[in-house]
Structure 1
């Protein structure tokens, strides 16, 4: 078995990294969004002894970009959202950008459902815009939210929206598709939950098997929950502490607690990675409820994570965060995108086949 290797993309963003995501059908293509007002497209070239990630193109925006995702077909389409309040479609081949809708505040998240041809944007104006891409001429379905969204994730059949006040709404994607194709009123959430975590939700990630999701908070904790709303299923949910470091004895001991900024599930094994402000990434076995490994410390906090569709690579976005206390930080030269080529069983959990 070849040993795991780690390498850095060439020409990384020049300011903080807001999101990164591998293509769902081209595992060597990676999109990165940044506060430097650009979306970057990289391609991993692994034919040589030392893999490389080369910059293919970058796409300038009017303001910092807060999220990006791939669309269809053939990974030549992307969607972005950010502080310019616009939801944009990007043709990755030509660089052409089309505005799909406008929110009244910053667009925090964009996610795409290939199963239902839906693009969903979540904005700090406390709304979701549901774009039915099979009917591109129609206006997006607008769904009001009871709080400001901070993290969104999508599974084959569900959309999970984590908001302020520890609110979590779960929407059924077929119901959203049906509503977007008609003039009916916006659908109600399939489920409304209160977060298992006591502090603000920082990240959410859905399980690839469509069974549930994980959330993380600014207070060094992760919770794992299942969609099925039965007493047996809900009894399985759990939360645990992570991304903490012992405080020096002269400072009174105890733990220094860091935000858990990023979560990502492995597409093959169903294990997941977490990344925190403590500049570390850990791999977890959700079923066995144990940490499998923790990687060496990175030079800055971990802001974003993504596994490639084949599970071969883990992309890690590294940059200073607010936990560093650097109010005058301008990001120059301190953002890095690292790609780890995983060993054959590196992300395999105890119960994985």
Structure 2
């Protein structure tokens, strides 16, 4: 991928990170690093998916989907998948410059997740279906779809671990699929969110034991796949992304969750323009970074947990209004900000 000429990015406020050049021109919908590399994928309402090299601080390439892109995912360093408002599921080869349409939903495609253990792409849509696609199949009039599963509502967020796929939908429903068994069957579990308000984001733990679920009402729930009484006793929820102004408690949506594979701790981003780092095991906040120019819409750690990509992109918590231009910050992460805290021994 040849890097286009770009003006140097503007200097960011201290502590927020450095801004990447050539950011999307409309709402940023997702961020994802590829494996252990410095390649970062960003999707946007400006109808593009962009790949950056965060080490060099350059835009490596842009794919125009043809409609606002609601999510995108890497298969490998040169292949990406996109889903968008035109209902289409597309695959793009940056090295070859080739585009292919795998198929389409009946409504916009909200979530896209590559499942490396199965060699399949999972997509979730506002048509209340989860579909699986096999890009190895020859294209046909029906596309490359291999499964179509009915869901209890529109898909809002989706996340996969090595063993499970978690789909959060309207109505506070959560469907859990076991990727180790046959693909295309009913969910292993169908749950209701323990949070009382609409789900905004779901992300699987790095150890595969469960998932974190965030709501529009400034809360995060920590859930476990194991249905035993002992495992379920460990689940909990906590408040975050709130502040007091003039004696009033202001509550902001938790738009994004990102786990780092190195330590298993995680970050949350909210409509308050704040990023918090958490140790979920010990129920501690490790660090806070405040002052992003607008809502934090998406987050992604690189594989080594040494960088955090932050999408500062207004998410309309306060309706239509003037807001800062979209930006992607890449922040160098200190180990002390993401390493779990040692438990203190109980006094004798």
What TM-score comes out, normalization by structure 1 length? 0.88
Contact persistence 1:24–1:70 (CA under 8 A): no
1:49: which partner in 2?
none
Structure 2: gaps of 5 or more residues: 1-13, 344-348
| Distance (Å, rounded) in 2 between the aligned partners of 1:324 and 1:211 | 36
23, 29, 34: which one aligns with 2:44 = 34
Root-mean-square deviation (Å): 1.8
2:333 is aligned with 1:339:
no
2:270 is aligned with 1:276:
yes
Q: Which has the higher contact order (CA 8 A, sep 6+)?
A: 1
What TM-score comes out, normalization by structure 2 length? 0.90
How many residues are paired up?
326
2:59: which partner in 1?
55
| Distance (Å, rounded) in 2 between the aligned partners of 1:158 and 1:36 | 31
What is the CA-CA distance between 1:139 and the residue it aligns to? 3.1
2:166 is aligned with 1:160:
yes
98, 101, 115: which one aligns with 1:99 = 101
Partner deviation per Cα, 1:24-51 (whole Å, 9 max, x = no partner): 24x2000000101111110022xxxxxx
| Map 1:319-330 → 2, pairs under 5 A | 319-326=313-320
Contact persistence 1:101–1:140 (CA under 8 A): no
SS for the counterpart of 1:345 is helix
1:213: which partner in 2?
211
1:19: which partner in 2?
30
SS for the counterpart of 1:232 is helix
Partner deviation per Cα, 1:127-167 (whole Å, 9 max, x = no partner): 11111345455533111111111000000010000011110
Could you tell which deviates more after superposition, 136-145 or 162-171? 136-145
| Distance (Å, rounded) in 1 between the aligned partners of 2:301 and 2:177 | 24
2:11 is aligned with 1:7:
no
Contact persistence 2:16–2:329 (CA under 8 A): no
| Distance (Å, rounded) in 1 between the aligned partners of 2:38 and 2:125 | 30
| Map 1:111-190 → 2, pairs under 5 A | 111-135=113-137, 138-175=144-181, 178-179=182-183, 186-190=184-188
Partner deviation per Cα, 1:48-84 (whole Å, 9 max, x = no partner): xxxx420011111211000001003xx1111110101
Contact persistence 1:243–1:260 (CA under 8 A): yes
1:348: which partner in 2?
339
Structure 1: gaps of 5 or more residues: 46-51, 180-185
